[in-house]
């Protein structure tokens, strides 16, 4: 019987080590002649510091014994153990995309430190080995792309070490300063971890910022802010202190404890830096090589931006788009909308700077009302449906604890009654309370999230995202998470089965969070993209109500009410639009028009919910 072949490594120092090792091996009595032959052959060759030049040894053992296998096993293990293995180099190539000032790169295996200026860093791709340390010196910072779809902005006076750096594991130790990172979606066998001395962040695919600093009492503190996705955040010395920080939340960790998560306000979001990272990660995309960069800013900032009738973000914004002509619309609550056409040139940057001016309709409406003393008051949202018998019945059911029955009635009112967004907000709040009493929906959320990950088609994924958004908003009152789910649905399947409903729902949850700019922009995109949709009347009416009640842009609201009246005379929002149009006319001093429309409403619905209000206002302006 032949044994496995053993390769001759021709490494004399290691052969001498094996020689000495085998001499020290205690073996049984040599009563097996085959063992004696084997031993003699091995020590003869090793004593000559060589193995057969063929690189193979074959032993013919007709009656294999335990000792034979034992000796051969020792040789195989020794060769494997003592033969020098070269460290596998990283299969990732980092490139410095933007450098301000000076950065240093120290290799684990080298004693020297490389210093790179802006030109040197951008010109060449830098292969970062395991253990390399990169630092931004005083008044310096840089952006580095680290794999497909991932990039980091490293701030002034920051220092980080790549403990692991390959396609499977990226582990970064941040010893000082801060990083803002956009990480592409990880697969189950991939890891992206950021460590500081107090805490660790495990990332699946998200945008986040990590900062470590020393407090006045000399203790270390790590701050984590998540702008997109979710991050597992825990204390390294006390893993029972763990938080799952979601988008729009932040958390702080110390050596052995953590703070509770807290919401992040919009002004804290580094919009320009995030859009820059997204731009850097898309630079190598072949699909957008024939493209240029659009740099959009506004005063004041944080305005909603639409490109060719699609929402792309908020100012300040940096984005890469195909070369050619594009229409830019910038919307800010309380200001006149700005529209500009721009020609994007290949491999160049186009600048748009928007200076907002206050809408004049607000001042005109206020001064006119004071002059003619019309008692136009904003009614309570509940006043639109408080007299409905169904609503009264729902309140009774809530009082006696019949939440399921109350829920059915409230859902019916929300879907079937022609009410404005403020009234819908009141109803949704009561619906949330009903669901909270009925049960816990955390398991439903987890189940839908798993289905989304496993969905095989865009339509299937869109359906599950739609269901998830409804559970998040209707059942849990988590409007922020619902907004993220709906945006993902629209992005994943822009013309899918649920996309039209998703736009209307998205505007609604944005309004629930007082994101008026976002809601206005979403409604406008919906109405432009789906002008004949069955939800068109409700969207048009809701948009008009935002302009009327929230932004005091009465002139724009008047146009929208008029459009709804003229195009949908048989629609369920027709009578409500007539009443609101009468109010708008009165607010901007068009008394004769207001009188006509108040009378028209009374003629259409003398017992309607606004009939008594119409009568009072007609009496006031006669």
Q: What gap in Å lies between CA 181 and CA 605, rounded to an integer?
A: 58
Residues 67 and 137 in one domain: no
Whether 361 shows a pLDDT value over 70: the answer reads no
**Between these two residues, 357 and 215, which has the higher pLDDT value?**
215
Which range in 68-72, 272-276, 448-452 is most confidently predicted, on average pLDDT?
448-452
Q: Counting every residue, how long is the chain?
A: 622
Confidence of residue 362 (pLDDT cuts 50, 70, 90): very low
Copy the structure tokens of residue 457: 């088609």
User: What is the sign of the dihedral through the CA atoms of 287, 292, 298 and 301?
Assistant: positive
For residue 102, the tally of other CB atoms under 10 A from its CB is 18
SS3 290: coil
Whether 373 shows a pLDDT value over 50: the answer reads no
What are the φ and ψ backbone dihedral angles of 242, each rounded to 5 degrees? Answer: -130, 140
Residues 267 and 306 in one domain: no
Q: Pick from 312, 328, 355: which residue ends a domain?
A: 355
Residues 104 and 246 in one domain: yes
The residue ranges of DSSP E strands in 448-557, in sequence order, are: none
Residues 109 and 206 in one domain: yes
Q: What gap in Å lies between CA 433 and CA 423, rounded to an integer?
A: 16
What is the DSSP secondary structure assignment for residue 275, as one 8-state letter? H
Task: Find the CATH number of the domain harbouring 525.
Answer: 1.25.40.10
Least confident interval from 226-240, 251-265, 313-327, 511-525: 313-327
User: Nearest Cα to 508, choosing from 534, 476, 546, 459?
Assistant: 546
Least confident interval from 88-102, 411-425, 476-490, 558-572: 88-102
Q: Where does residue 118 fall: left (phi above 0), alpha (psi -120 to 50 degrees), or beta otherwise?
A: alpha
Report the domain count for the chain. Answer: 4
Distances in Å between the alpha carbon of 436 and those of 390, 403, 415, 491, 539? 21, 9, 20, 30, 28
What's the pTM value of the predicted model, to 2 decimals?
0.53
User: Nearest Cα to 502, choosing from 546, 450, 448, 464?
Assistant: 464
Q: Where does residue 94 fall: left (phi above 0), alpha (psi -120 to 50 degrees), or beta otherwise?
A: beta
User: Nearest Cα to 235, choosing from 225, 221, 219?
Assistant: 221
**Between these two residues, 136 and 71, which has the higher pLDDT value?**
136
Residues 106 and 225 in one domain: yes
Residues 307 and 208 in one domain: no
Residues 315 and 453 in one domain: no
Rg over alpha carbons for the chain, rounded to the nearest Å, is: 35
Cis-peptide, bond into residue 300, ω within 30° of zero:
yes
- Residue 32: its pLDDT value, please? 54
Q: What gap in Å lies between CA 520 and CA 331, rounded to an integer?
A: 8
Copy the structure tokens of residue 204: 């699946």
In a domain, 185, yes or no: yes
In a domain, 573, yes or no: no
Which residues fall within 8 angstroms of residue 301, CB to CB, at 6 or more apart? 271, 314, 315, 316
- Over residues 59-84, the mean pLDDT reads 51
Confidence of residue 392 (pLDDT cuts 50, 70, 90): confident
Distances in Å between the alpha carbon of 552 and those of 327, 522, 544, 547? 26, 19, 10, 6
Q: Which helix (H) or strand (E) holds 154?
A: strand 150-154
Which range in 26-30, 172-176, 402-406, 584-588 is most confidently predicted, on average pLDDT?
172-176
Copy the structure tokens of residue 534: 């069955």
In a domain, 547, yes or no: no
- Residue 303: its pLDDT value, please? 82
**Between these two residues, 310 and 480, which has the higher pLDDT value?**
480
Residues 463 and 520 in one domain: yes
Q: Pick from 82, 107, 136: which residue ends a domain?
A: 82
- Over residues 90-108, the mean pLDDT reads 74
Which residues fall within 8 angstroms of residue 401, CB to CB, at 6 or more apart? 437
For 558-578, how does the pLDDT look when each residue is reduced to its tens digit (9 = 90+)? 999 999 999 999 888 999 899
Q: What gap in Å lies between CA 583 and CA 580, rounded to an integer?
A: 5
User: What is the sign of the dihedral through the CA atoms of 436, 439, 440 and 441?
Assistant: negative
- What is the pairing mode between strands 207-214 and 169-182? antiparallel
SS3 491: helix
- Residue 289: its pLDDT value, please? 55
Q: What gap in Å lies between CA 212 and CA 23, rounded to an integer?
A: 56
- Over residues 232-261, the mean pLDDT reads 87
Residues 107 and 253 in one domain: yes
Q: Pick from 533, 568, 588: which residue ends a domain?
A: 533
Least confident interval from 74-83, 149-158, 416-425, 578-587: 74-83
Copy the structure tokens of residue 11: 């490494």
Q: Could you list the residue range(s) of the whole structural domain that residue 474 is in?
A: 440-533
In a domain, 399, yes or no: no
Residues 230 and 349 in one domain: no
- Over residues 312-339, the mean pLDDT reads 81
Task: Find the CATH number of the domain harbouring 178.
Answer: 2.60.120.1440
Sheet with 317-322, side-by-side order of all strands? 317-322, 291-299, 349-355
Q: Which residues of 50-79 are buried (b: 16+ CB within 10 A; e: fewer)?
A: ebeeeeebebebeeeeebbeebbeebeebb
Copy the structure tokens of residue 109: 């295996």
Residues 36 and 110 in one domain: no
Copy the structure tokens of residue 343: 């020609």
Residue 340's beta-bridge partner residues?
Answer: 328
- Taking a C-beta distance cutoff of 8 angstroms, is the pair 347, 321 a contact? no
Copy the structure tokens of residue 272: 């320009």
Kindly report the average pLDDT of the chain as a whole number.
Answer: 76
Which residues fall within 8 angstroms of residue 106, CB to CB, at 6 or more apart? 113, 114, 132, 133, 134, 135
In a domain, 611, yes or no: no
- Taking a C-beta distance cutoff of 8 angstroms, is the pair 179, 142 a contact? no
């Amino acid at each position: 019987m032949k044994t496995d072949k053993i390769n001759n490594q021709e490494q004399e120092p290691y052969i001498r080590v094996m020689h000495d090792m085998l001499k020290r091996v205690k073996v049984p009595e040599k009563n097996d002649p085959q063992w004696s032959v084997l031993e003699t052959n091995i020590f003869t060759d090793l004593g000559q510091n060589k193995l057969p030049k063929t690189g193979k040894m074959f032993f013919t053992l007709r009656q294999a014994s335990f000792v034979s296998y034992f000796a051969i096993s020792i040789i195989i293990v020794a060769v494997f153990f003592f033969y020098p293995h070269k460290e596998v180099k990283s299969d990732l190539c980092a490139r410095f995309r933007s450098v301000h000032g000076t950065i240093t790169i120290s290799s684990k295996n080298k004693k020297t430190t490389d210093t790179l200026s802006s030109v040197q860093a951008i010109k060449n791709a830098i292969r970062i080995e395991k253990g390399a340390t990169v630092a931004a010196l005083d008044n310096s910072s840089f952006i580095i792309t680290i794999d497909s779809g991932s990039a980091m902005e490293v701030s002034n006076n920051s220092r980080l070490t790549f403990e692991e750096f390959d396609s499977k594991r990226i582990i970064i130790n941040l010893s000082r300063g801060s990083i803002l990172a956009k990480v592409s979606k990880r697969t189950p066998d991939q890891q992206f971890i950021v460590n500081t001395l107090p805490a660790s962040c495990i990332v699946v695919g998200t945008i986040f910022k990590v900062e470590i600093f020393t407090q006045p009492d000399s203790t270390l503190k790590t701050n984590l802010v998540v702008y997109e996705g979710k991050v597992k955040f825990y204390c390294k010395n006390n893993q029972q202190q763990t938080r799952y920080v979601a988008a729009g939340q932040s958390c702080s960790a110390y050596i052995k404890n953590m703070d509770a998560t807290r919401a992040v306000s919009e002004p804290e979001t580094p919009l320009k830096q995030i859009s820059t990272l997204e731009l850097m990660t898309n630079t190598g995309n072949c699909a957008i090589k024939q493209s240029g960069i659009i740099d959009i800013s506004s005063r004041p900032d944080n305005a909603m931006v639409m490109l060719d009738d699609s929402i792309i973000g908020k100012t300040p914004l940096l984005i890469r788009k195909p070369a050619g002509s594009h229409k830019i619309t910038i919307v800010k609550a309380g200001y006149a909308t700005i529209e500009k056409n721009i020609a994007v040139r290949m491999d160049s940057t186009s600048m748009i700077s928007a200076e907002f001016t206050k809408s004049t309709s607000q001042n005109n409406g206020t001064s006119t009302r004071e002059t003619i003393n019309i008692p136009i008051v904003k009614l309570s949202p509940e006043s639109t449906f408080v007299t409905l018998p169904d609503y009264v019945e729902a309140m009774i059911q809530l009082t006696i604890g019949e939440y399921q029955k109350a829920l059915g009635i409230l859902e019916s009112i929300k879907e079937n009654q022609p009410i404005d967004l403020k009234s819908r907000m009141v109803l949704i709040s009561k619906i949330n309370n009903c669901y909270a009493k009925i049960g816990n929906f955390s398991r439903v959320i987890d189940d839908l999230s798993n289905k989304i990950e496993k969905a095989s088609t865009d339509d299937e994924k869109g359906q599950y995202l739609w269901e998830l958004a409804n559970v998040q908003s209707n059942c849990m009152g988590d409007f922020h998470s619902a907004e993220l789910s709906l945006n993902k649905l629209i992005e994943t399947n822009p013309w899918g089965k649920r996309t039209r409903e998703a736009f209307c729902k998205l505007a609604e949850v944005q309004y629930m969070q007082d994101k008026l700019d976002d809601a206005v922009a979403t409604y406008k995109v919906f109405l432009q993209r789906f002008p004949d949709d069955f939800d068109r009347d409700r969207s048009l009416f809701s948009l008009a109500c935002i302009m009327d009640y929230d932004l005091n842009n009465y002139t724009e609201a008047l146009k929208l009410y008029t459009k709804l009246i003229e195009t949908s005379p048989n629609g369920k929002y027709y009578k409500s639009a007539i009443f609101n149009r009468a109010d708008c006319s009165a607010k901007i001093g068009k008394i004769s028009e207001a009188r006509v429309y108040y009378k028209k409403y009374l003629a259409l619905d003398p017992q309607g919910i606004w009939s008594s209000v119409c009568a009072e206002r007609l009496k006031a302006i006669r």
